[in-house]
Structure 1
Amino acid sequence: MLFTGLLLFSCSDEFLEREPLGFVAPETFLNNEEELNMMVNGIYNQVDFMGVANTHFKNMNPYYNEALTDLVYGAQPWQGWTEFARGQGNSESNRVEWKWDRNYQGIARANSFLLAIEEKTELDPDIRKRGIAEAKFLRAWFYLDLISFYGDVPLLLVPGDLENSTPERTPVDQVRTQMLKDLDEAIPDLPKTYPNAEDAGRVTQGAALALKSRILLYGGEWAGAAAAAKEVMDLGVYSLFPDYNGLFLEKNEAQASNTEVIFQVYYTATTSPSAQNMMLMNWWPSFCPTLKAANSYYMANGLPITNPESGYDPENPFINRDPRFAMSIYYPGGPFKYAAMPNLKVFDFYMLGQTGFKCRKFVDEELEQSNLQRGQGENKIFMRYGEILLNYAEAQNEAVGPDATVYDAIDQLRNRVGMTTLSEAMPGLSKDEMREVIRNERLVELAFEGLRIFDIRRWKIGEEVMDDAIGLDNRFLKQNKYPGDGNGITATWYYVEKISDTRAFVPTRDYLWPIPQKEINANPNMTQNPGYN
């Protein structure tokens, strides 16, 4: 990871401490740009530190959010996600504690920096303002994750909350107001781009505007969300990377050439490797797309498979689909290329995992087995221009209706992969019809990137979509040998549905996670979310 320099903060798991969390005395530090960057880097380090300590799963954030949704079955119960997808999560789950702790540690680091920098007026004004802006962006980033998972949370704005060591939960709307205030103050002090390669990965104006758009979208503030997304679009900095399949690969991650990336965490294969190739390909049951995910992709002609005019063939269900389908999912009988397994040319039952599918997105098919085991240098993309187009389309449709700019935003995404545009396939949609199309477009364009859980929660569709995880029965995913073609094999496949995992969703409980039990025990003012008492 890029931000692995000197950490100037402690890593206590308790955020509600009377003493500032790892606070560095202003008189002994923050005397120059290098020291400022070191302190800010310690805040960045918490962005991608949401998994289980000392395991590869910490490097699968945010992708493993998808295992909480209808798109993925995370088959290993010890991963911690399966229990929540099944409606069995509780306040002592390691995932519940880990996410809470890491976000509040990031907030504590940001608060410590913002307090310390107040007295350092002798620093270069531009560097000082930029550091403050970065800290405010990151504080907003952590709070968005907190309110998205826990709802009302304590709003802490000073180190360790020196004013109150047992704070009450702050309503989501008030937390959101502070997040937007932080971003509005940060935006003018952040650069559009950084001229120096060593600053790659730091937040920019575009990142702050993109986060603002996401916050407003999640809060249902449509006009504001559309306006913030449009500001990103009008910066002239970002555009869609021409190769959807290559967007996430290490060879294409240079910011100069991949202008779709807005905010990412950097990894290096030698010092801080990422693990997604290992997790997605080697550990086969860990991240398995569901049949619902596969069926969400329209046909290449832009029509859903449920439309009688689409040309969908149940006997050949994966033919002539949205090109993003084959770019995102390995499917039975589909082409398979992987340097680590050179003898396999077709994705067959040997590789099928728990649902009959595996994730192709993020996978570097050129990796040799030795590199696969070690980990790679693929960066983790947290925000990209494709999301901004979708944010704009959804917010503009809700605020104004399905005007030409809404169609254009979706058309750009489809043009990238050579698919029939929405303007051609479905002209003249109503607002309600467009809403359903946009929601599905978000699902397929952003599939497996960790954002689906937030859409399910804000759209309040959990009871509709969180039914059993359906896959294909591996025992029947063999080529039909009757009749044979001389060697007993034809290209015909059987597809037999099965329940891969039994799910449960209680709407009065499962739109939020529980507050960690240790926080309830330690703080008499902390209340629990409904259904977890």
Structure 2
Amino acid sequence: MKNISIKYTSIFSFFLLLGITSCDAALDVDLPSNQLSSESVYSTETTAEAAVNGIYQSMVTDFYYNRVHSALGQTADELVPATGIANVYSSNEILETDGTINGNWGELYKTIYNANNVIEGVSKSTSLNAVKSRQWIAEAKFLRAYCYFYLTNLWGNVPLVLTTNIDVSALAPQSSQEDVYAQILLDLTDASKDLPVDYKNYDQERIRATKWAAETLLARVNLYLGRWTEATAHASAVINQTGIYKIITDLGEGNSPFIADSDESILQIPYFNVDYTYEGSSVFTTGGTLLLRKGNSLFETGDARKTNWTVEIRNRAGVFLGIAPYKYQNGFEDSPVERSTPLRLAELYLIRAEARVKSNDITGAQQDINVIRNRALLDDTALTDANQLLDLIALERQREFFAENGHRWLDLKRTGKLDETLSVLSDKIWKSTDSLYPIPEPAIRSNPFLTQNSGY
């Protein structure tokens, strides 16, 4: 079937060209609100659909399929350069002038701008189908929440921009993390009500948001906020969709969560018009640019994730250097078709396991942990002590999500273990203030209402 992400390429590429080309403004938006929210754009379903697709297309950029894995993995205790030479990310010496950090900030806000544009344009239109309009707004709110989740976790207090009006966004002050999380929860709750419950509207391709993508992110956010009952409920809502989602039980060749439309994938991002991912072709290749810091010691004997998701790296003399992530295995081939996978079912089991431990449901937590361990060909856990189970869940998260979407960095932050974990590593020049990235210097320079994070 024709990939709907490219169905209106010529149309939404025009929107992207208009809406996200500037890198100098504080929030990287450069058009007055009336230019992309005009009646002509949102007068037909074809152009409105193209605008929604444009939000997703704005996520086919370096942060979403590279830096969210590589930069965050290096600032944590997860990834190290195969050369053995530290860089500003692996040593945690990032400067506010760093181009990568500026790019991450800008790409996230560009997606938010496109989402705001759709919300405004569709809401004002009087000619669009009401049901489709609600879905499009829900998609935009979901994607806006997804971006703000990363913005507030990486930078702390950030501008909360809910409009395309440049007069408002250019000088927007920072909002507290509490306020940002409140908006995230509001957007996701609204989105969950109006998003489709399956992928029929998307030609069965898992490349646009459903209700269950919103529920997945709600489960994650509630876990981060320590709301154990809510985290359990949202995770269970997705896990219970057994007709749509299943844990892949065989991680052998040609069967992984990262294959297009796999049973485990909840949301995927295609990489332009090709069948491979940027992760597999350029970031985590058999050449081993980045190695797992803990190497083989991260895994238990017989762990299928080590067998199937890593590759041994040796130098030209044949000397073993370590093991590298190899989850995305299609470099430049036509099959199997792989996609970047920001949300997948395994996370829900480990979210629910942690929330259940916190709620003193030890048996339920064990069952969830064992789903993940058994898939990795490991035995059931016999642990019953709550603290030991939490340590095991943290370890299983590290094993399951290595080099994926910054999970390790965010886990260390939310559990308050950054200092104790990173301060003892000899190649890191660690300060407690490194827990937040520096707000990019161009943003600080262009918006006098922004205050730089401590330590920079």
Q: Do both share a fold (TM > 0.5)? A: yes
Equivalent residue, structure 2, for 1:266: 270
User: Are 2:367 and 1:405 aligned?
Assistant: no
Given candidates 37, 44, 48, the residue that maps to 1:36 is 48
Supply the distance in 2 between the matched residues of 1:268 and 1:46 (Cα, whole angstroms): 11
For the 8 Å contact 2:315–2:321, the answer to whether it is kept is no
Supply the distance in 1 between the matched residues of 2:196 and 2:317 (Cα, whole angstroms): 46
TM-score normalized with structure 2 length? 0.87
Task: Give 1:79-478 correspondences, 5 Å limit.
Answer: 82-160=87-165, 162-163=167-168, 165-196=170-201, 198=203, 200=205, 201-236=207-242, 237-246=244-253, 253-255=259-261, 258-267=262-271, 270=274, 274-281=278-285, 283-284=287-288, 286-290=289-293, 292-298=294-300, 320-331=301-312, 350=316, 355-364=321-330, 371=332, 377-398=337-358, 400-422=359-381, 426-427=382-383, 429-450=384-405, 451-466=407-422
Identify the range of structure 1 (83-92 vs 261-270) with the bigger mean alpha-carbon deviation. 261-270
Give deviations 1:367-406, integer Å, cap 9, x for gaps: 7xxx47x9995201111000110111111211x1242211
User: Quick one: which amino acid aligns to residue 45 of structure 1?
Assistant: Q
For the 8 Å contact 1:274–1:377, the answer to whether it is kept is no
Segments of structure 2 that go 5 or more residues without pairing to the other structure are: none
For the 8 Å contact 2:353–2:393, the answer to whether it is kept is yes
User: Quick one: which amino acid aligns to residue 250 of structure 2?
Assistant: D
Segments of structure 1 that go 5 or more residues without pairing to the other structure are: 52-57, 299-319, 332-346, 470-500
For the 8 Å contact 1:87–1:504, the answer to whether it is kept is yes
Count of aligned pairs:
440
For the 8 Å contact 2:314–2:321, the answer to whether it is kept is no
Supply the distance in 2 between the matched residues of 1:38 and 1:351 (Cα, whole angstroms): 52
For the 8 Å contact 1:71–1:293, the answer to whether it is kept is no
SS in structure 2 opposite 1:378? coil
Structure 1 residues 440 and 519 mapped into 2: Cα distance closer, same or farther (>3 Å)? same
For the 8 Å contact 2:266–2:343, the answer to whether it is kept is yes
TM-score normalized with structure 1 length? 0.76
Cα RMSD of the aligned pairs, angstroms, is 2.9
For the 8 Å contact 2:54–2:114, the answer to whether it is kept is yes
Supply the distance in 2 between the matched residues of 1:351 and 1:198 (Cα, whole angstroms): 49
SS in structure 2 opposite 1:357? strand
Structure 1 residues 352 and 101 mapped into 2: Cα distance closer, same or farther (>3 Å)? farther
Higher Cα Rg: structure 1 or 2? 1
For the 8 Å contact 1:329–1:359, the answer to whether it is kept is yes
Supply the distance in 2 between the matched residues of 1:159 and 1:85 (Cα, whole angstroms): 36
For the 8 Å contact 2:423–2:431, the answer to whether it is kept is no
Cα deviation for residue 274 of structure 1 reads 3.0
Cα deviation for residue 238 of structure 1 reads 1.4
Cα deviation for residue 137 of structure 1 reads 0.2
User: Quick one: which amino acid aligns to residue 454 of structure 2?
Assistant: P
Structure 1 residues 17 and 443 mapped into 2: Cα distance closer, same or farther (>3 Å)? closer
User: Are 2:90 and 1:73 aligned?
Assistant: no
Cα deviation for residue 180 of structure 1 reads 0.7
Supply the distance in 1 between the matched residues of 2:424 and 2:198 (Cα, whole angstroms): 45
For the 8 Å contact 1:150–1:515, the answer to whether it is kept is yes
SS in structure 2 opposite 1:28? coil
